[in-house]
Amino acid sequence: MDFSHSSAISAAGMDVERTRLDVAAMNLANVHTSRASYGGPFRPLRVVNTTAPVFSQSLAHAGHSMLQIPSAHVQQTYAAPRLVYEPGHPDANAKGFVAYPAIDNVSEMVNLMTAVRTYEANVVAMNAAKSMALKALDIGRGT
C-alpha cells in the first residue's frame, strides 16, 4: 500500500470529524431556537458518513482493490419538536406551547467528544504513516 493512501484516508477522516464537530456545535447553539428563517423551530442537523472510491487511482491499480475515501454530508432531521409550556413567549401556540428543536444536549456533547477523539486518532495515524515513510527512506539510503 502506498503511504500516500494512508495519509489521504487520515486527512479525509479528519475532514469528516471536523464536519461532525461543526454540526454538533451548531445543534447545541440552536437548542433554544424556536423560529428559524424557514419557519418553525430549528431543524437539527446530522452528519451522514459515506465512502467513495477514488476513480483516478482505481484506474492506475486495475485489478487491485480501490481506495475508499470517507466523506460526509450534512442533512436536516425532521424529528418532532419538543413542546414546552411558555404562554408568554411570542412563538407560543394557542395552548401556550412553544416548539423547540428535538436536540438532546447529552447526545450532542457525546458527539463532540467522539469527534475530537477520532480527529486526534487520525492525526496520530497520519504521523505514524509519515514516520514509517521517513524510516523507509532511511533504510533505502543504507543508513
For 88-141, how does the pLDDT look when each residue is reduced to its tens digit (9 = 90+)?
A: 999 999 999 999 999 999 999 999 999 999 999 999 999 998 888 888 888 878
Higher pLDDT, 65 or 19: 19
Identify the pLDDT of residue 82. Answer: 93
In this structure, what C-alpha cell is assigned to residue 93? 401556540
Higher pLDDT, 4 or 35: 35
**pLDDT band at residue 71, thresholds of 50, 70 and 90?**
confident
| Collapsed DSSP state (helix, strand, coil) of residue 90 | coil
Cβ atoms within 10 Å, residue 41 = 21
In this structure, what C-alpha cell is assigned to residue 89? 413567549
- Whether the per-residue pLDDT at 6 is higher than 60: the answer is yes
Identify the pLDDT of residue 28. Answer: 95
Q: Could you tell me the pTM of the whole model? A: 0.77
Close Cβ partners of 40 (under 8 Å, ≥ 6 residues apart): 81, 99
Residue-wise pLDDT for 13-61, tens only, equals: 899 999 999 999 999 999 999 988 888 889 999 999 877 665 555 555 5
In this structure, what C-alpha cell is assigned to residue 47? 452528519
Residue 97 and residue 68 in contact, taking contact as beta carbons nearer than 8 Å = no
- The mean pLDDT of 55-68, rounded to a whole number, is 55
In this structure, what C-alpha cell is assigned to residue 92? 407560543
Residue-wise pLDDT for 131-141, tens only, equals: 888 888 888 78
Helix axes 3-29, 105-141, angle to 10 degrees: 160
